Amino acid sequence: MRQKKIPYTFEFLEKNRNKVILGVGTRLNPAGYLQLMEDITGVYSTDDDLNVRTWVYNPDSVRGWIGFEVSDAPGLVDIDVVTSIGFRLSDGTTDYYWDEDEEDWVEATDYWNTESEVAENISLFSAESKKLQIVINLKTTDSSATPWVRTIKVLFNSDIELKEDIVFSSFIGACENQIRVKGRHLFRLSEENDELDLKNDYPLETPYNIPEIDGVYNHTDDPHHFVDLFQSFNATTRLITLSSEVDTGKDIWVDFLWVPEFSVSTSLDFNEPEKVPIVILDDLKQIGGAGLKAEDTVVNRYAGQGWKIEYAQCDFQFLIRFMTDKAIDMLRLSDEMRRFFANNLTIRSIGLDREYDIQITSDWDMLSSAGERGLIEANMTVQILRTLFFEKTATAVTTVKKLYFTGDFDQTVG
């Protein structure tokens, strides 16, 4: 299986405060690091079990955890280190530590691992849940000193296809989960019944994809729609069950929610879709060429071995084409899309579990299609900003663990 090496950094910044789970006696310093909390007398607790939990990182594309690196600083008294930092790994449900005797990750109770132990054995921690949370134990033996943790980096193997993740899994996935356009269906009941068959008895002119019903009313007796008769709906059979029977000849008003089909255009000649309403993503491209180049490293600091990962950061743009067979559907779809973008200023990459900003670069432009069916079409252009593309193969790196000086050493101060 072709895989990429992807880095991720848990940053303990102010913007992430609401995601970090701070235990008793710990704090997130606004300067951007974790530490013990001073009490009202200005001293730190020397308890053994003070800890902080990161948020649960959940990249769907992970196929194995392979790297672990901590940026930290010890607490000193004179020149002696009086603090330590311990770690456990969690899947968000259960905490684990590396048991050297068992040579396995086992459920944690009282034990903690060093950074070195985690870095050496993280590749054996199961990635099956696709979740990783770091539990950090901050400890001091001197109440005047605290350890600090600024960042924790992890590295994982991934089978992600980056553009496919952004377009299909992330953007289209979010649209399918959230977009619900209001539709209405008015018809006369042919016989007394407490069930409405929208598939056979009262079909809609347009073949909407209807996941749910918003309300059903006896429009004849209740024209202002105060009494909702809806009880249940089977989306497969399109059978609505009412809370009570309605007499023959009554006008029934059904408010339903529909979801458009979503597609990615694969042909320059794509003009008339087989089914509407439909949303088509077209003209997909990266903006700004190869993008801004950057690199990151994740290193086992005690073994002196790690990986350098080079990547590009660029904007990803596509045209969204909306097609319906009714002007009213287009107007309602436009309202729903504006609601979607107003509530989604970012889009989450499912494969990488990262948030990217969304920007509309050209707003709604509606026109009538020249096709045989006289479809209504509208277009808008969207950019997903500062997306990460890991296209270059990671390279192994060796770090300097110790530096020796021989011979004379002169130092000038002044």
Does the predicted model carry a pTM greater than 0.85?
Answer: yes
pLDDT over threshold 50, residue 318: yes
pLDDT at position 411, please? 61
Q: What total of structural domains would you count in the chain? A: 3
CATH code for the domain in which residue 145 is found: 2.60.120
Alpha-carbon gap, residue 229 to 357, rounded angstroms: 42
Average pLDDT over the chain reads: 92
235 and 154 within one domain? no
Per-residue confidence (pLDDT) for residue 175, from 0 to 100 = 95
Q: What whole-number percentage of the chain has pLDDT above 90?
A: 82
In a domain, 112, yes or no: yes
> Omega before 277 cis (within 30°)?
yes
Residues 148 and 193 in one domain: no
Considering the domain boundaries, does residue 232 fall inside one? Answer: yes
Per-residue pLDDT band at 2 (split at 50, 70, 90): confident
* Alpha carbon distance 353, 413 (integer Å): 50
Q: Which CATH number does the domain housing residue 283 bear? A: 3.30.2000
Q: What is the pLDDT of residue 351?
A: 97
User: Tell me, what's the pLDDT at 269?
Assistant: 46
Q: What percent of the chain has pLDDT over 70?
A: 93
DSSP-H helix ranges across 29-180? 115-121, 162-164, 173-178
**pLDDT, position 271:** 53
Write the DSSP string, 251-314: EEEEEEEEE-EEEE---TT--S-SSSSEEEEEEEEEEEEEEEEEEEEEEETTTTEEEEEEEEEE
**pLDDT tier for residue 273 given thresholds of 50, 70 and 90:** confident
Amino acid at 402: K
What is the distance between the alpha carbons of residues 94 and 105, in angstroms, rounded to a whole number? 11
Q: Is the pLDDT of residue 371 over 90?
A: no
How many residues can be counted in the chain? 414
Q: Is 1 helix (H, G, I), strand (E, B) or coil?
A: coil
What is the pLDDT, as a whole number, of residue 413? 53
331 by Cβ neighbours in 10 Å (0-12 / 13-18 / 19+) ranks as middle
Q: Work out the pLDDT band at 400, boundaries 50, 70, 90.
A: confident
Domain assignment present for residue 409? The answer is no
Could you tell me if residue 414 is inside a domain? no
Torsion of CA 183, 187, 189, 194, to 10 degrees: 0
Give buried/exposed letters for 118-154 (b at 16+ CB in 10 A, else e): bbbbbeebebeebbbbbbbbbbbebbebbbbbbbbbb
Distance between CA atoms of residues 15 and 89, nearest Å: 23
Residue 1: how many other CB atoms lie within 10 Å: 5
Same domain? 207 vs 296: no
In terms of residue numbers, what domain contains 31?
A: 4-158
